[in-house]
Amino acid sequence: MTMWTAVLVASIVCVVLKTLGYLIPPKWLEAPRPARIADLLTVALLAALVAVQTFGQGQAIVVDARLPAVLVAAGLLLLRAPFLVVVVAAALVAALLRLWGWAD
């Protein structure tokens, strides 16, 4: 599979999913189970991505400058900082720790 194929296939699936909502009878959403699974699916995927993106390096689990950066991000989120501030602060923390040689 080329990167372009992957980009296009993933895009098409996402567009189909968006369209699907307009084709499904509204009463489906009244059933609690599918609605609940859809909500929790989003949570599980994002949480797993946080973990892998923080600790993963290929197939290795490493603790490096990303962990303190993510902890700073979590602190800012507790203070209700906007998305962009959180992301930039995390990048800054990791970049400075690496620049100063305090973390890998």
Residues in 67-96 that interact with other proteins by CB under 8 A = 69-70, 73-74, 77, 80, 82-84, 86-96
Q: How far is the CB of 49 from other proteins (least distance, A)?
A: 4
Residues of span 35-74 touching other proteins by CB under 8 A: 35-56, 58-61, 65-66, 69-70, 73-74
Q: Cα–Cα distance between 21 and 31 in angstroms, integer?
A: 15
Q: How many CA atoms lie within 13 A of 96 on its CB side?
A: 9
Which among 53, 74, 77 is positioned nearest to 64, based on CA atoms?
A: 53
Q: Smallest distance from the beta carbon of 19 to other proteins, in angstroms?
A: 4
Do 86 and 77 touch, CB atoms closer than 8 A?
yes
Structure tokens at 40: 């929790």
To other proteins, the closest distance from the beta carbon of 79 in angstroms equals 11
Q: Which positions from 4 through 33 interact with other proteins, judged by CB under 8 A?
A: 4-15, 17-22, 24, 26, 28-29, 32-33
